[in-house]
Amino acid sequence: MKPKIGVFSFTSCEGCQLQVLNLEDELPALLGQIEFVNFREAMSEKGEDYEIAFIEGSITRESEIEELKRIRERAKVLIAFGACAHLGGVNVLKNFHPQGTWLPSVYGRTDLFSDTIPTKRVKDVVPIDFVIPGCPIDKKEFLRFVQGLLLSMKPALPDYPVCVECRSKGNICLVEEGKWCLGSVTRAGCEAICPTYREACAACRGLVEEPNIESLCNILMANGLSKEEIRAKFNLFNGLEAIVIPP
């Protein structure tokens, strides 16, 4: 029997769901192996008999907490996919400002979204089994992950930093050029797509185990960044992570 999969979306741009749909060449063959029963971006039916739940988005409203808990109860395996679900993502930025200041500046009024709460990661609300990181996710990584589940293999994420992929491509290092980049402390798996296009890595895939933040801060400060600027770079995706910028 084909494993049944549900894909659910919370506060996010839904770009990670689109990444799954972007697997245009692979989906027909993959659908011989799995069955989607609930996938808002792709289908109208809303089945409740899923075994595997992919959760996209962070939790930013009271009502989302109950919804997520309900999915967790039904699913045997729950995966946080994408930076919002994994890390809170860019939605965490609101946590750094009093609600009274950002609500009118974003929506022009304050009576919308009255149940808004500080952004939480999926793991802050329910236990998660696995993570597929990234903003957006890498569609090939999603494919490998699902294939791994089908083969009963424990999914493994790269445990090395983005620099490995970036240097392997022969890219010119942004930090070497006096700019900023967080690739040296960020989990790889994206094929260093941002630095390959000369854009700094903003750590959307989260940090590697034991990142040398202190050394990176010294390097970035030598490149002219202040501690506050470095903090802001980390906060873009990792605002809820315990990252200590040395004094």
Partner 1 sequence: MDVTIEYTHIDRFIRGLLSHYDVIAPVARDGRFIFDRIDDPAAVSPQYDTTLLPPVKWIYPNNEVLLEFDLRDITKAAVIAQGRPQALTFVHPCDINAINLMDDILAEEPSDANYLTRRRSTVIIGYECLGPCKENYLCFDKGCHITYKGFDLFFTDIGGRYYVHVATEAGREIVEEDGIFKKAAYDDWVDLMKARAERKKGFKKVIRGDMEMLSHHLKEAYHNEIWDIEGKKCLSCGACVIVCPTCYCFDVSDEMCPDMEKGVRTRRWDGCQLRGFCKVASGENFRKDAAERVRHRVFKKEVYLKKRFGRSGCVGCGRCIDYCIAKISIIDIFNHVMDRVRENV
Kindly tell me which residue out of 13, 77, 117, 173 binds partner 1, with binding defined by CB under 8 A.
173
Question: Which residues have C-beta within 8 Å of that of residue 18, sequence separation ≥ 6?
Answer: 41, 136
Distance CA 245, CA 247 (A): 6
Sheet holding 52-56, edge to edge: 35-39, 4-9, 52-56, 77-81, 130-132
Among the candidate windows 44-52, 107-115, 117-125, 175-183, which touches partner 1 by CB under 8 A?
A: 175-183
Kindly tell me which residue out of 30, 77, 93, 243 binds partner 1, with binding defined by CB under 8 A.
30
Q: How many residues bind partner 1 (CB under 8 A)?
A: 39
Residue 247 touches partner 1, criterion: CB under 8 A: no
Among the candidate windows 35-43, 104-112, 129-137, 169-177, which touches partner 1 by CB under 8 A?
A: 169-177
Distance CA 121, CA 58 (A): 5
| DSSP E strands, the chain | 4-9, 35-39, 52-56, 59-61, 77-81, 116-120, 130-132
Distance CA 43, CA 67 (A): 19
Could you tell me how many residues make up the chain?
247
Distance CA 203, CA 241 (A): 11
Among the candidate windows 3-11, 23-31, 112-120, 127-135, which touches partner 1 by CB under 8 A?
A: 23-31
Kindly write out the interface string for residues 129-168 of this chain, putting x where it contacts partner 1 by CB under 8 A and - elsewhere: --------------xx--x--xx-------xxx-xx--xx
Residue 178 touches partner 1, criterion: CB under 8 A: no
Q: Which residues bind partner 1 (CB under 8 A)?
A: 25-30, 32-33, 143-144, 147, 150-151, 159-161, 163-164, 167-168, 170-173, 175-176, 183-185, 208-212, 214-216, 218-219
